Amino acid sequence: MPTRRRALLILAALLGLAQASIVLALMVGSLSLAPGEVLAALWGNDYGVAGEVVRSLRLPRALTGFACGGLLALAGALLQVLLRNPLADPYVLGISGGAGIGALLAIVLGWGAGGVNGLAFVGALGAMLLVFGLAHGEGGWTQSRLLLTGVIVAAGCGAVVTLMLAIAPDDRLRGMLFWLMGDLSQSGEPQLVMVLLVVVLLVALPFARELNLLARGADLAQALGVEVRPLRRGVYLLASLATAAAVTHAGAIGFVGLIVPHLVRLATGNDQRLLLPASALAGGSLLVVADTLARTIVAPQQLPVGVLTALIGVPVFLFLLSRAAPARR
């Protein structure tokens, strides 16, 4: 267990990393900028092309990416505790599937970015309520029942998504595939997700020590003074909303929500008081870096960011896993 001081130091370091990732995202692109130029553009002293590019193109995209990455990592960390399953990720309960149906439908209908986001959110909310209602049943829900219900609903959504891909007109396919792999190029305004990231974190943090207990088992947590029922519902709602918001803005970006909590856990231990904020910062940074690479590696063409998160995350994760194994014995 980290001391409070050590936790704050780790968070300060991660905050620095987050800022560095955003500055990098602002510097790199078809128009390369020096750090000084980026700062000048940010403070609004630069009314030229550079200022315009930084303020209205790169900054919103970087902030949206950061917020979505943070939300996904937070949702993953919360769901791994809720389901007591290290394999849980934000999409395991079918939220991305529901959002996918909504988004693809909007794309097939030829709606703009706003329509796609709106319908994706409706789909995510629908899947969330469906899983919650079905899993609740009589006598409250158990972890395995919630997990099974979620997996089945996700599978059903997956089938519908495949069906839509099969019958969609060719000219829409590329957009649909990009959405499914996660894509920040149409992400829109960052304010909403940024606020949501802060809100989710602020709501979750006071319950972090109770989440530590929940991770050790519901009965044990109850016996040690945690009101388990309301806590579980709250965590489910919070994680679902975080996922829905992220998926709505950036598509079903894989990997961040599964791997970032594990990365942080391997590096700092499983204390949710540190794990939750650290996951948010690390997840945001990872997504910003991945998105920066996605739009520059084969520029002017853009890659789906979901591919990059996996390509960066897999080797880092495997390295940490092999390094941590001897110490835990």
**Angle between the 170-181 and 95-108 helix axes, to the nearest 10 degrees?**
150
Is the Cβ of residue 44 or residue 326 nearer to other proteins in the bound state? 326
Q: Which of 225, 227, 167, 237 is nearest to 199 (CA)?
A: 237
Nearest alpha carbon to residue 247 among 305, 286, 320, 198: 305
DSSP string covering 81-112: HHTT-TT--TTTTSHHHHHHHHHHHHHHTT--
- Tell which positions 169-208 bind other proteins, by CB under 8 A: 206
Choice between 85 and 296, CB closer to other proteins: 85
> Rounded to an integer, what distance in angstroms lies between the CA atom of residue 284 and that of residue 199?
15
Shortest CB 271 distance to other proteins, Å: 8
Under rule CB under 8 A, which residues in 203-222 are in contact with other proteins?
Answer: 206, 209-210, 212-213, 215-217, 219-220, 222
Q: 74 to 133, contacts with other proteins by CB under 8 A?
A: 84-86
Q: Measured from the CB of residue 222, what is the shortest distance to other proteins in angstroms? A: 5
Contact pattern from residue 15 through residue 54 relative to other proteins, giving x for each residue in contact according to CB under 8 A and a dash for the rest: ----------------------------------------
Minimum CB–partner distance for residue 127 and other proteins (Å): 25
CB of 39 to other proteins, least distance (A): 36
Return the number of the residue (106 or 221) whose C-beta is nearest other proteins. 221
CB 144 within 8 A of CB 116: no
Instruction: State the minimum distance, in angstroms, from the CB of residue 228 to other proteins.
Output: 8
Nearer to other proteins, 174 or 229 (CB): 229
Per-position b or e across 58-85, b if 16+ CB within 10 A of its CB: bbbbbbbbbbbbbbbbbbbbbbbbbbee
Q: How far apart (Å, rounded) are the C-alpha atoms in residues 279 and 14?
A: 9
Residues touching other proteins, count (CB under 8 A)? 30
Nearest CA-CA partner of 90 in 215, 98, 278, 314: 98
Position 12 contacts other proteins (CB under 8 A) = no
Nearest one of 162, 168, 196, 194 to 180, comparing CA atoms: 162
Nearer to other proteins, 146 or 252 (CB): 146
212 or 240: CB nearest other proteins:
212
Instruction: Map residues 260-279 to x or -, x wherever contact with other proteins holds by CB under 8 A.
Output: -----x---xxx-x------
Helix (H, G, I), strand (E, B) or coil at 255: coil
Write out the DSSP string of 48-71.
SHHHHIIIIIIHHHHHHHHHHHHH
As measured in angstroms, the least distance from the Cβ of 1 to other proteins is 5
Please, how many CA atoms are within 13 Å of residue 39, restricted to the half-sphere of its CB? 5
Of 61 and 265, nearer to other proteins (C-beta) is 265
136-165 as b/e: b if 16+ CB within 10 A: eeeeebebeebbebbeebbebbbebbeebb
The mark string for 221-260 relative to other proteins (x by CB under 8 A, - otherwise) is -xxxxxxx--------------------------------
In whole angstroms, the minimum distance from the beta carbon of 109 to other proteins comes to 43
C-beta of 187 vs 270, nearer to other proteins: 270
Binding site for other proteins (CB under 8 A): 1, 3-4, 84-86, 206, 209-210, 212-213, 215-217, 219-220, 222-228, 265, 269-271, 273, 328-329
